[in-house]
Amino acid sequence: MATEHHIAQLNLTLPAVPADSPEFTDDDFVESFDKITRKAQFTDGYVWRLFGGSADGRRVLDAVWPDDPRIVVNLSVWETFDSLREFVYRGAHADFMRRRAKALTVPFSEAYQVLWWIPAWTAPTVAEARERLLHLREHGPSPYAFTFTRTFPPEALADQAVQTQALQDQALQDHAEPGISGR
């Protein structure tokens, strides 16, 4: 069955030490991160991931976060929420997440991870991912930007668009001069 939507995910991590420091490279974090991220490509439900700007196009740690170039960007697309969740919380990736505390800190006082639905077979940009994360931070989970613990089905996005349009139409009506239609 063809799907109209895929799920995009962004998560950010700030290394505890600079990426070029001996502590960072001795921990094999870079190599492990690349292996785990490449492993995703062979996982059921995987669609796409952001590649960094390295010459070989394979190093994933080269993607730059606009607000802080030290931040590691992980941006990917999956066929379903279940396929993404399965990859993130099981097997080698889950082990990697447990071990990363040694090499990384996540000193964010606000959300550093966001999920959202996109049209099938499209790829989000870092700018779009940033906007979704900022929306989540400001407004909390919604059909527009959500988390693993508070999810929404893709249909909720259409429902939200209808509600938003109705509110905009009502606002036009409320501010229209008497006898003049807002449409």
Could you read off the pLDDT of 82-140 as tens digits, one per residue?
Answer: 999 999 998 788 887 777 655 566 567 899 999 999 999 999 999 999 999 999 999 99
Which region among 50-54, 61-65, 165-169 has the lowest average model confidence (pLDDT)?
Answer: 165-169
Ordered DSSP codes for 78-121: ES-HHHHHHHHHSHHHHHHHHHHHHHEE---SS--EEEEEEETT
| Interacting residues of 169 by C-beta distance below 8 A, sequence separation 6+ | 182, 183
The letter for the amino acid at 173 is Q
Residue 93 vs residues 40, 52, 102: alpha-carbon distances, Å: 9, 19, 15
Alpha carbon distance 133, 145 (integer Å)? 7
Which phi and psi (to 5°) does residue 68 adopt? Answer: -165, 105
- pLDDT at res. 179: 52
Does residue 74 contact residue 104 with C-beta atoms inside 8 Å? no
Whole-structure pTM value: 0.78
8 Å CB contact between 114 and 147 = yes
Per-residue model confidence as pLDDT tens digits over 132-173? 999 999 999 999 999 999 999 998 877 666 555 655 666 677
pLDDT recorded at residue 169: 64
Q: What's the sign of the alpha-carbon dihedral 60, 64, 67, 71?
A: positive
Residue 61 has pLDDT above 70, yes or no: no
Residue 49: closest CA among 124, 100, 131, 118:
124
Cβ atoms within 10 A of the Cβ of 21, count?
12
